[in-house]
Structure 1
């Protein structure tokens, strides 16, 4: 089931009942791919957290990050990003039949829509086109704590009125695959940086293939910065 709902249609009890988990999980962490675990203080995504994701490749990173935790039974909702790349999500292994796509809610209804979805799905991804009001933000935050869900901000939290628990930023990227003026772009190498507050305050970073030669999202060796040693650099003599 790949649902697409418009505005308050996301609150249709039939949709919410269809995706509502049958049991409540007592686990505090959502699994993430092994290549991403060094970014998180406990090796996984903390339930109840708000995490911003931004930079080139933000949606691909978000989709790939959710693959292990959704599995065959979990559900994710994407709100306010009707043009997000479904193909990119499928290419990194996300089960698109476990994703609800919800159009941008009417003004003043973000709190109602997102709070209702947090009762039914593990993860809600939002990408508002304008700032979310304080009242809606408080309602969403309260439901997030109550349900121990996860809220991902695909704009890095730019439209949220307060701070997030953690931010992931996609930085430099390099593509490989083109030969001598021909061929296709096949592999993308990215650096992802993480920063946050409290337990996530220590900056962390990883280098990833997304996709790469060994899979859709795998660790990549850090690129070394090589400085050419010229004659006299160390005060030595010419060989």
Structure 2
């Protein structure tokens, strides 16, 4: 039985990945900061799907948290076949009003953790000549802004790594969701004034299903909804000076 490790797994997109992968028969390593919620999730998924679910409490904004997950990914006795780098958050406010410590913490989670965990996971996967990594980015990656810049890095890194790993048996996918009903906006302190209309919201379970289909097809980028694919086509034709104005609203699509 294969094993999937998912970060930021107790809510939103991470929880949807856990449900789907458990239903597909994968054992799980569930990673987040809240031990109690992790244990509840592990117990529920194990009972429902008959799989083994490990709990790993780790804060990926801290070096020791990243190192703990790296150690689990390096365990050759208990190999991880699928890595989902989903942990992330957004800061409320405009540059440069957001405290630098908060911005650096976001970059550590979105960029450093993704780089380190992907690199560690890929080592073992390449030796076994099989494995997959899904790095959750955002459609914000295509819009100017600090949050978007961190997610743009995820997209470019993942697509570059996918190209470099071609023929190795290891697949990499950058997932770029739009707005998804999660705890993301509440945790970021974003009020109703920045919440988009209902027609823009995506279902997390359907999003995950589309992402896994794209991964199986060998794609390195997944924008899992026609609405957002059309929007991204429009974005490519829109001058950056106009897009920059949208980033100042404080909205953070691609939430988890």
Could you say whether these structures have the same fold, taking a TM-score greater than 0.5 normalized by the shorter chain as the test? Answer: no
Normalised by the length of structure 1, the TM-score is 0.39
Question: Of the two, which has the highest radius of gyration?
Answer: 1
The structure that is helix-richer by fraction is 2
